[in-house]
Amino acid sequence: MRILHVVGARPNFMKVAAVMRALDGHGVDQILVHTGQHYDEALSDLQIADLDLPRPDVELHVGSGSHTRQTAEVMLRFEPVLERIRPDRVVVVGDVNSTLGAALVCGKLGVFLAHVEAGLRSFDRTMPEEMNRVLTDHISDLLFTSEPAGDANLQREGIPDARVRAAGSTVVDSLLRVLPHTEGRAILDQIGRDRPYALVTLHRPATVDDHATLRSVFGALEELARDVRVLFPVHPRTRKNIAAARIAATNVQLLEPLGYLDFVALQREATVIVTDSGGVQEEASVLRVPCVTVRETTEKPATLEHGTNVLVGRDPGRLLAAVREAIGGGRRETTLPWFWDGHAGERIAGALV
């Protein structure tokens, strides 16, 4: 059997790694296609090394552009690859433009498509990812859900139960696998182990593309930095907008983007995490680090029900209050749900073959 995997953005690597590793035990011929939607080669190489992934067999070099242009470029460049390789299965992960672009090509050509992390819904159609999730799910032949809300959403949308498998989170699989390798990382000595810190990651367009919103959120971080160190590994898109909005980082410590191992090392030692990322919400909950999410909705409600996550929107007052409460309350024990057991990849591999 030949299975082709599609990745396009850095979070995709964590999700696909667990599936590819589990399929190695089934004697499957695997092909990895990197669309290049996130096109920082150094960071992609670091991510591949940290996750012990093979080098991509095919790189499409799609690059940046509007959502429409990027999705269209993925389709144009992926179609001839699919026709040449002719896999038995195509696996797409997550909700980025590459996920939808590849899914549409599979649908047009009648190639069997599996979607990992299916059924997630924020119910916020202003998020480009929400459209990608919904359309990819309705194109897919086999849908692997990462939490019970995904099963309920797909059932409500009329997708037959026979096409749905409750698999669990491959994000958690990758996190649990690398945790032992994050102890003693040099990054911890570089930032200093002796003082607590808040770890920040912001990259979504709704947070960073509007200069007024970015200034407001960044102002809250600057005020927070008077109470505790604020470490902010800056996504390239965010750094560009910080400069365009003429924001001065007086107290917030801006860092270069980090590889997966270094970022997990910082997460596990953080006092609190501030984010607008879906995957980080899951990781923080597993690590039992209080997480303050700069969004009004989340596609991962399990992080609210079982984890340590709280939504504050983009209101600086709510953000500051939630972070200060988290710092004062410290870490708390949580009961992790079954789908965070580190075996999602194995369940997916078994169903695929």
SS3 5: strand
pTM reported for the whole predicted model: 0.94
Q: Evaluate if residue 235 carries a pLDDT over 90.
A: no
Of the two residues 10 and 87, the one the predictor is more confident about is: 87
Q: How much is the average pLDDT of 299-324? A: 94
Contact in structure between 120 and 300 (CB atoms under 8 Å) = yes
Domain span holding position 206: 183-329
Query: 33 lies in a domain?
Result: yes
Query: 336 lies in a domain?
Result: no
DSSP 10: H
Q: How much is the average pLDDT of 176-195? A: 92
Q: How much is the average pLDDT of 332-348? A: 87
Convert the pLDDT of each residue in 208-234 to its tens digit.
999 999 999 999 999 999 999 999 999
Are 9 and 91 in a shared domain? yes
Convert the pLDDT of each residue in 267-276 to its tens digit.
999 999 999 9
In the sheet that 89-93 helps form, which strands lie side by side, from edge to edge? Answer: 58-59, 29-34, 2-7, 89-93, 113-118, 142-145, 164-166
Are 190 and 231 in a shared domain? yes
- DSSP symbols for 173-209: HHHHHHGGGGTT-HHHHHH-SSS-EEEEE---HHHHT
Q: Which pLDDT value is given to residue 40?
A: 67
Are 122 and 218 in a shared domain? no
Are 227 and 138 in a shared domain? no
Are 157 and 260 in a shared domain? no
Convert the pLDDT of each residue in 160-175 to its tens digit.
999 999 999 999 999 9
Q: How much is the average pLDDT of 294-301? A: 96
Query: 337 lies in a domain?
Result: no
Query: 339 lies in a domain?
Result: no
Q: Which residues carry out catalysis? A: 203
